Amino acid sequence: MSPSSRPLKIAVVGAGISGLSTAFALKSAGHQVAIFESGDRAGGPIASTEKEGYRLEEGPHTLLVRTRAVAALLDELGLTDRIVEANDAASRRYVVKNGRPTALPSSPAEALTTPLLSPAARLRALFEPLVGRFDDPHIDETLAHFVTRRLGPEVLDYLVDPFVGGIWAGDPHHLSAKHAFPTLVEWEETAGSIVVGAIKKMLTSRGEEKTPRRLLSFDKGLGTLIEAFTDRLESELRVNTPIRKLRRDDNGWRVIYQLGKARRGETFDAVFLTIPVHALPDLEWENATPPANSIEELSTLPYAPCNLVHLGFLREDVQHPLDGLGVLIPRVENFHILGSLFISTMFPDRAPEGHVQLATFIGGTRQPQHTEADDQTLIEMACLDLGRLLGIDADPQFASITRYERAIPQFEVGHDVYRDHMSDIEAHLPGIFLAGNYHDGISVPDLLEAGQHHASRLQDAINTNDFLRR
């Protein structure tokens, strides 16, 4: 049998969504897979729990599905009938201006009059197509510099900064435009303008790979997605089995793992490492080592810390209609929180009758010190800000906190260095593949799609590489 047609034996290390989607794609391609997970469950931060009648998400709350590939994967996982789309009201988003939630414009006409921007700032933004390209398109520019240059400082403060806080828990003054928002940079390069680029894209992308944008979860929350994967990968998944060491031998990679007090080993043709970068230096290497310092330097890739404060209130205690997805806070507005999601507006069954659930994010690279506060202080910070913003003058009926010391990897200016390390490690160690959100993008849909991409990468390596003929 030729190397290209032989099904391979593959180890996938880490059973977050990256490991699960990669293992599923590899298994679907006919390979024999084993998934090693150090924790006692799969899913990483994706976990749905029930407490006192509230259904909580311990990490992500929704998937923004935009491509046919992700829609097809959900279907293949048997999830199509279990999808719950966010309520229509969630199409409205609030951003705080002068201490008050202000609806984001939902049409170009509304954008021309939005109170989020001053008349001068709106006029400045209208001239975006006339702003020249950057002298050197290869320069690694901060998102803040890019947006200010093209659209003006108020667009940065009131339209970009709050979203970057909400999605990346990050800071546009540090994030790299080309790494964190490559599409914007590409539109500037190809169309000379992000507005023109976006319009062109809209007109030309009625093609194959796109599907209507859907903001969704599942009947039992996002944990349903993890269950669907683990049902299909039941015999492949080994929890409580951390990988300790990787040893190159004549037949491939010997994966040494911990099982209770014992260390065991098993040989695989290839290994996909989907663990976070900060877990990489704990792995020992034998007979083949990554390039000097590459793992240590890669492990310094910054992550934003973030805490999630879940609060439940009596509906009658909240004056705001909560008619939207949630509210995001620009840095210049000086609040403690990054933003809050109106969970029971999106998904009405997430709180007991007569109650509402709000999920509030605190910390990020904007205010990392807040993540160290004790539980009571976090609840007080959230209640103080939500009280001001949403007219709540009562104590919460329910509170629960989830903490992440390293929530989201940050693709900051200088990220090229980390990408170079990733490429060097893979080039140096044939049969070792890196994957995970620091490698493939931070959103769950990106990581779902990456699984298929990694299966193709393996096939390309089989076709072009000699790692099978060690």
Ligand X SMILES: Cc1cc2nc3c(=O)[nH]c(=O)nc-3n(C[C@H](O)[C@H](O)[C@H](O)COP(=O)(O)OP(=O)(O)OC[C@H]3O[C@@H](n4cnc5c(N)ncnc54)[C@H](O)[C@@H]3O)c2cc1C
**Rounded to the nearest whole angstrom, what is the least distance from the CB of residue 80 to ligand X in the complex?**
19
Q: Which residue has the tokens 């877990």?
A: 279
Within 13 Å and on the Cβ side, how many CA atoms surround 63? 25
Helices (H), 250-405: 294-298, 343-346, 375-390
Interacting span for ligand X (CB under 6 A) from 17-25, 329-337, 344-352, 378-386? 17-25
CB 61 within 8 A of CB 354: no
Residue 121: CB minimum distance to ligand X, A: 29
Give the residue nearest to ligand X (CB).
Answer: 44
24 binds ligand X (CB under 6 A): no
Report how many residues bind ligand X under the rule CB under 6 A: 36
User: In 3D, which of 197, 421, 462 has the Cα closest to residue 294?
Assistant: 421
Query: Binding segment for ligand X among 136-144, 206-214, 261-269, 437-445 (CB under 6 A)?
Result: 437-445
Asked if residues 82 and 217 have their Cβ atoms less than 8 Å apart, the reply is no
**Of positions 24, 25, 27, 38, contacts ligand X by CB under 6 A:** 38
d(CA 102, CA 385): 15
Q: How far is CA 54 from the centre of its chain?
A: 24
CA separation for the pair 468, 470 (Å, rounded): 6
- Binding ligand X (rule: CB under 6 A), the pick from 101, 172, 324, 436 is 436
Segment contacting ligand X (CB under 6 A): 59-67, 147-155, 193-201, 260-268? 59-67
CB 57 within 8 A of CB 402: no
Identify the helix (H) or strand (E) that includes residue 187. helix 182-191
375-404 positions binding ligand X, by CB under 6 A: 404
Q: The dihedral of CA 374, 376, 378, 381: what is its sign?
A: negative
Q: Does 77 bind ligand X (CB under 6 A)?
A: no
Contact 355, 344 (CB under 8 A): yes
| Selection from 286, 243, 233 nearest residue 264 by Cα | 243
Binding to ligand X, residues 438-457 (CB under 6 A): 442-444, 447
Residue among 467, 457, 456, 470 at smallest CA distance from 430: 467
CB of 388 to ligand X, least distance (A): 23
Which of 65, 125, 338, 408: binder of ligand X (CB under 6 A)? 408
The yes or no reply on residue 225 touching ligand X (CB under 6 A) is no
Strand order, beta sheet including 432-434: 237-238, 32-36, 9-13, 270-273, 432-434
The rounded distance, in Å, linking the Cα atoms of 206 and 212 is 10
**Stretch 304-333: interaction string toward ligand X, x if CB under 6 A:** --x-x-------------------------
Q: List the structure tokens of 390.
A: 């949403």
**Interface with ligand X includes 340 (CB under 6 A)?**
no
| Distance of closest approach, residue 257 Cβ to ligand X, in angstroms | 7
| Cα–chain center distance at 28 | 24
Instruction: Specify the stretch interacting with ligand X by CB under 6 A; choose among 38-46, 105-113, 295-303, 455-463.
Output: 38-46
Which of 59, 162, 339, 396 forms a contact with ligand X (CB under 6 A)?
A: 59
13 in contact with ligand X (CB under 6 A): yes
The correct pick among 305, 437, 448, 451 for binding ligand X (CB under 6 A) is 437
Judged by beta carbon, residue 169 or residue 383, the one nearer ligand X is 169
Identity (one letter) of the amino acid at 357?
Answer: Q
Strands 237-238 and 32-36: parallel
The contacts of residue 133 (CB under 8 Å, 6+ apart) are 188, 189, 192
Site string for ligand X, 107-146 (x = CB under 6 A): ----------------------------------------
Among 442, 336, 325, 444, smallest CA distance to 380 is for 336
CA distance 362 to 166: 10
Closer residue to ligand X, CB minimum distance, 16 or 252: 16
Among 151, 156, 184, 243, binds ligand X (CB under 6 A): 243
CB of 454 to ligand X, least distance (A): 12
Q: Is 221 one of the binding residues for ligand X (CB under 6 A)?
A: no
Which is closer to ligand X, CB of 16 or CB of 172?
16
Q: Pattern 268-297, binding to ligand X, x per CB under 6 A?
A: ------xxx--x------------------
Pick the piece of the chain touching ligand X (CB under 6 A) from 42-50, 208-216, 226-234, 344-352. 42-50
Residues binding ligand X (CB under 6 A): 13-19, 36-39, 44-46, 59-63, 242-243, 274-276, 279, 306, 308, 404, 407-408, 436-437, 442-444, 447
